[in-house]
């Protein structure tokens, strides 16, 4: 690929990742607030540190804040543009990538991401107060979904679209594992609590955060169990945010740019994808829970990082920060 096309591929890939990351951060904050409210009402501790942990932000967060409570964590991810994993930082990065792609994206897409970035940049402390958080997260998700709709309706289906789509599904797979890791960090310590009203409430909140509640209900006969939810979010290829489906879609996109456009050099990425797909083909949800949910999703995340590195080496420029 030429230097220009490599740079464009890189920017398209990360434009999609950053917007998907914004949507999923809103989902994570929303579900954590729901978890925290439930556990507080039942005399349990807070879960807010789990958000910091799954984003590997402990050092950056503790340098600024003495304790990980709701208001501080929400400020860190909703308002602090100096935090590279925050919503405003991700949106600013998405807008900058879009700016370099003006010749490849529609006017509608450029205008929408500009307005979205400006709106989030104007949020203040009172706007992100915990009583308002769920509604705010919903508005952010809806803005991200508007972006996705504009992409689907206006993006020309050439190489550019494939690289954008690679970024979207790769980030989506990563973020679904992070949502599951939130549940790992809030698993109840007492065996008798498994299946309790609190436990079921948390799994339901997790399904809603992953936009999977109604789909899950259609196939589960109303029974919410850890095995059923984990199986749905990891393995169900009819759920658009399941990790398994995202992996298969990513493999298809990579294969398409190789076969349709003659872009060689992706053998290492396809090999890593094949290994990751084999992990999913060889294990069940029950086995994942038995061996350790956290350990499994951590392994998936590491493999996704490897795939990103291989795609960057094959098709893109120097890449952009993965955090």
Tell me if 321 is assigned to some domain: no
> Looking at residues 85-94, what average pLDDT do you find?
99
- Per-residue pLDDT reduced to its tens digit, 276-288: 999 999 999 999 9
Q: How many residues does the chain have?
A: 323
Query: What pLDDT, in 10s, does the model give residues 169-208?
Result: 999 999 999 989 877 666 544 555 555 676 788 888 889 8
* pTM of this structure: 0.92
Q: Is 320 domain-assigned?
A: no
All residues at 6 or more sequence positions from 80 whose CB lies less than 8 Å from its CB, including other chains: 64, 86, 88, 89
- Of all residues in the chain, what percent carry a pLDDT higher than 70? 89
pLDDT score at 3: 46
Per the domain annotation, does 59 fall within a domain? yes
For every residue of 189-241, DSSP letters joined together read SSGGGTTSHHHHHHHHHHHHHTT-HHHHHHHHTT---HHHHHHHHHH-TTSTT
Name the helix (H) or strand (E) containing 302. Answer: helix 293-315
How many other CB atoms are found less than 10 A from the CB of residue 200? 16
Q: How many CA within 13 A on the CB side of residue 311?
A: 31
Residue 23 has pLDDT above 50, yes or no: yes
Count of CB atoms within 10 A of residue 173's CB? 27
pLDDT band for position 43 (cuts 50, 70, 90): very low
d(CA 63, CA 79): 16
Residue 175 lies in a domain: yes
* 110 located within any domain: yes
Terminal CA-CA length for the chain: 26
Could you tell me if 120 and 91 are in contact, meaning their C-beta atoms sit under 8 angstroms apart? yes
Q: What is the mean pLDDT of residues 75-84?
A: 98
Q: Which range, of 58-62, 65-69, 265-269, 307-311, averages the lowest pLDDT?
A: 265-269
On average, the pLDDT of the chain sits at 90
Q: What is the pLDDT of residues 101-150, one digit of tens each?
A: 999 999 999 999 999 999 999 999 999 999 999 999 999 999 999 999 99
pLDDT at 54: 86
Taking a C-beta distance cutoff of 8 angstroms, is the pair 33, 134 a contact? Answer: yes
- Structural domain count, the chain: 1
Best CA proximity match to 13, nearest among 138, 98, 127, 87: 98
Say if 173 falls within a structural domain: yes
Query: Taking Cα atoms as reference points, which of 27, 17, 23 lies closest to residue 183?
Result: 27
Residue 166 belongs to a domain: yes
CA–chain centroid gap for 36, Å, is: 20
| Domain extent at residue 69 | 3-315
In a domain, 322, yes or no: no
């Amino acid at each position: 690929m030429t230097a220009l096309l490599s740079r464009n591929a890189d920017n398209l890939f990360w434009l999609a990742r950053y917007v998907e990351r914004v949507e999923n951060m809103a989902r994570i904050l929303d579900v954590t607030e729901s978890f925290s409210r439930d556990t507080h009402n039942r005399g349990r501790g807070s879960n807010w540190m789990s958000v910091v942990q799954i984003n590997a932000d402990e050092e950056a967060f503790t340098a600024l804040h003495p304790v990980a409570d709701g208001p501080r964590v929400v400020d860190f991810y909703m308002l602090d543009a100096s935090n590279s994993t925050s919503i405003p930082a991700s949106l600013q990065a998405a807008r900058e990538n879009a700016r370099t792609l003006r010749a490849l994206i529609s006017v509608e897409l450029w205008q929408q991401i500009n307005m979205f970035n400006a709106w989030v940049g104007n949020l203040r402390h009172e706007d992100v107060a915990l009583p308002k958080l769920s509604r705010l997260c919903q508005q952010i998700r809806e803005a991200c979904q508007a972006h996705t709709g504009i992409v689907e309706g206006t993006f020309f289906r050439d190489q550019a679209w494939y690289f954008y789509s690679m970024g979207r599904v790769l980030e989506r797979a990563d973020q679904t594992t992070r949502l599951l890791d939130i549940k790992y960090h809030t698993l109840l310590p007492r065996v008798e609590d498994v299946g309790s009203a609190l436990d079921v409430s948390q799994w339901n909140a997790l399904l809603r955060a992953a936009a999977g509640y109604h789909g899950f209900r259609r196939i589960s006969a109303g029974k919410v169990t850890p095995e059923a939810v984990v199986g749905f979010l990891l393995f169900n290829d009819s759920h658009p945010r399941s990790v398994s489906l995202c992996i298969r879609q990513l493999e298809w996109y990579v294969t398409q740019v190789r076969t349709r456009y003659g872009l060689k050099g992706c053998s290492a990425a396809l090999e890593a994808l094949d290994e990751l797909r084999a992990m999913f083909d060889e294990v069940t949800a029950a086995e994942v829970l038995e061996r350790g949910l956290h350990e499994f999703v951590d392994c998936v995340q590491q493999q996704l990082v490897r795939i990103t590195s291989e795609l960057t080496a094959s098709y893109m420029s120097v890449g952009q920060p993965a955090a």
